[in-house]
Amino acid sequence: MNFLQNKTAIVTGASKGIGKAISFDLAKNGCNLFLVSRTEKDLEKTKKEILKIYDVKVHFFSADIKNFNEVKNTFDKIFNIENKIDILINNAGITKDNILARMTENDWQDVIETNLSGYFNCCKHIIKNMIRNKYGRIINISSVIGSNGNTGQINYAASKAGLKGLTKSLSKEVGARNITVNSISPGFIETDMTEELKDLNKKKFLNNISLKRFGSPNEVAKLVSFIASDDAAYITGQTITIDGGIN
Ligand SMILES: NC(=O)c1ccc[n+]([C@@H]2O[C@H](COP(=O)([O-])OP(=O)(O)OC[C@H]3O[C@@H](n4cnc5c(N)ncnc54)[C@H](OP(=O)(O)O)[C@@H]3O)[C@@H](O)[C@H]2O)c1
């Protein structure tokens, strides 16, 4: 199965959790990778682990997606190595949960700047490259919280809901250029991000999931690889949910 052979992807938040699983699955399908997140040593470790198993090209750059110029400089360095980027996986994200009464302005801004403006920064700096190459797959990792909402997550829910509009609008702008733009909305996936949740909250979530289990990063990664493939050429502007059936 090498359906992504000769393709190249940028994956943000590639050092951990869902982003790491996505990077492995893309590599499994033959895709070359540029891994991006803030912590260099984690990226280096991910690169080594991928290269132990898969025969693909892997580079990494540490960058903060919140910073417009840092993303520009990083993407320029990437274009110097590879001038045709086929796939952008916007995955890096954070939570800073609190009820509105206790949420600080900083908690609000940090989450919006990472989960929404950060995705704008990456789309902004990739789009001319994809337009020039007349090909592109942009996949934004959203969340079911963006449509369902959740107590203590107004910042996170707003950022993820914003991605739905960004995805739909950008898909209309670039569809004629053979570029698809989709969001994937995971439910509860077991990563460091959800590890922080208290057991009581986890039990509450579990009760509402039809399949009565949490999802794995690998399950999300397989969906991402499909949307990134040529077989998904007629899917654009969509938000695709993968949540085990949340009621
Ligand atoms: N886990 C879930 O249940 C779940 C459900 C729905 C949606 N999601 C979404 O899936 C995505 C991945 O989540 P996860 O659970 O895998 O989280 P995670 O394990 O905490 O990993 C987050 C990744 O994002 C990177 N990152 C965070 N802030 C960044 C920044 N400003 N610039 C660059 N990289 C940054 C982190 O690396 P550094 O800290 O080193 O930068 C890390 O690689 C997020 O967008 C999240 O909202 C997760």
Beta pairing partners, 36: 12, 61
Looking from the CA of 126 toward its CB, the CA atoms found within 13 Å total 32
When pLDDT is averaged across residues 12-21 and rounded to a whole number, the result is: 98
The string of pLDDT tens digits covering residues 127-183 is: 999 999 999 999 999 999 999 999 999 999 999 999 999 999 999 999 999 999 999
Whole-number pLDDT of residue 124: 98
In the three-class reduction of DSSP (H, G, I as helix; E, B as strand; rest coil), residue 39 is classed as coil
User: In the chain, what are the domain boundaries?
Assistant: 8-241
- Residue 182: helix, strand or coil by DSSP? strand
pTM for the model stands at: 0.98
Give the model's pLDDT for residue 205: 86
**Which residue has the least CA distance to atom 32 on ligand 1?**
64
Mean pLDDT of the chain: 97
192 alpha carbon – ligand 1 mean position (Å) = 9
CA angle 222, 43, 76 (to 5 degrees): 95
Per-residue pLDDT at 196: 78
Residues with Cβ within 6 A of ligand 1? 12-13, 15-19, 37-39, 42, 64-66, 91-94, 114, 118, 141, 143, 186, 188-189, 191-194
Q: In angstroms, how far is CA 48 from the centroid of its own chain?
A: 21
Question: Closest by alpha carbon to 182, among 218, 137, 152?
Answer: 137
Polymer length of the chain: 247
Indicate the residue type of 222. Answer: K
Q: Is 54 a catalytic residue?
A: no
Homologous superfamily assigned to 8-241: NAD(P)-binding Rossmann-like Domain (3.40.50.720)
The bridge status of strand 239-242 relative to strand 179-186 is parallel
Q: Which of 119, 135, 156, 234 is catalytic?
A: 156
pLDDT band of residue 41 (cuts 50, 70, 90) is: very high
CA distance 76 to 73: 5
And the tokens for 29? 């399908």
Q: What is the pLDDT of residue 204?
A: 84
